[in-house]
């Protein structure tokens, strides 16, 4: 299974007065720069994933807009909301053996610090606050070698490098 962790692109700041409003963070949209980042990374992904790839997005506006840059076929998954824990994210995608709809590749469009924690757990065996840059992609694969489960880091790509 391929698991692609895609952090939402650059988004608007939340106005100071909005921090007190429940759910206000979910309404933040991409900036013009963020739309360009999302389009650039979507182009990179399009050249590398097939049409059977499942795209899952947090319910936040900025993640939905990032996913839409790649495909109109995506699913909003409440379990990927800001602040989600690593176990919840991995269960939502079916890592490593039971991916969504049996897809070979699942893309999660989500948030920091969750995506960095997912990457650190899968690659190092423990959760740490690793950074996934805005619009950045971490592509991981699971495989079995000699009856041992392994995780392979296939790519880390940021919008300014794609």
Using DSSP's 3-state secondary structure scheme, residue 40 falls into helix
Give the start-to-end residue ranges of the domains of the chain.
2-157
Structure confidence at residue 16 as a pLDDT band (50, 70, 90): low
- Could you give the percent of the chain with pLDDT greater than 70? 95
Query: Strands 2-7, 54-57: parallel, antiparallel or unpaired by DSSP?
Result: unpaired
Q: Does domain 2-157 have CATH number 3.40.309.10?
A: no
Q: 96 or 59: which carries more pLDDT confidence?
A: 59
Residue 117 has pLDDT above 60, yes or no: yes
What pLDDT does 18 receive?
57
Q: For the whole model, what pTM was predicted? A: 0.94
List of residues 6+ apart from 15 with CB closer than 8 A: none
Structure confidence at residue 101 as a pLDDT band (50, 70, 90): confident
Residues β-bridged to residue 26:
none
> What is the rounded average pLDDT for all residues in the chain?
93
């Amino acid at each position: 299974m391929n698991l692609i962790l895609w952090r939402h692109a650059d988004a608007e700041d939340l106005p100071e007065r909005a921090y007190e409003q429940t759910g206000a963070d979910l309404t933040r949209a991409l900036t013009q720069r963020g739309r360009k980042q999302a389009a650039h990374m979507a182009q990179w992904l399009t050249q590398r994933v097939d049409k059977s790839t499942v795209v899952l997005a947090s319910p936040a506006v900025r993640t939905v807009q990032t996913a839409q840059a790649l495909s109109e076929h995506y699913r909003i998954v409440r379990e990927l909301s800001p602040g989600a824990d690593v176990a919840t994210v991995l269960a939502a995608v079916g890592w490593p053996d039971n991916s969504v709809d049996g897809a070979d590749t699942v893309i999660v469009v989500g948030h920091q610090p969750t995506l960095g924690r997912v990457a650190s757990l899968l690659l190092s065996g423990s959760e740490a606050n690793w950074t996934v840059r805005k619009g950045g992609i971490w592509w991981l694969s699971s495989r079995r070698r000699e009856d041992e489960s392994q995780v392979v880091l296939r790519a880390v790509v940021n919008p300014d490098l794609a």
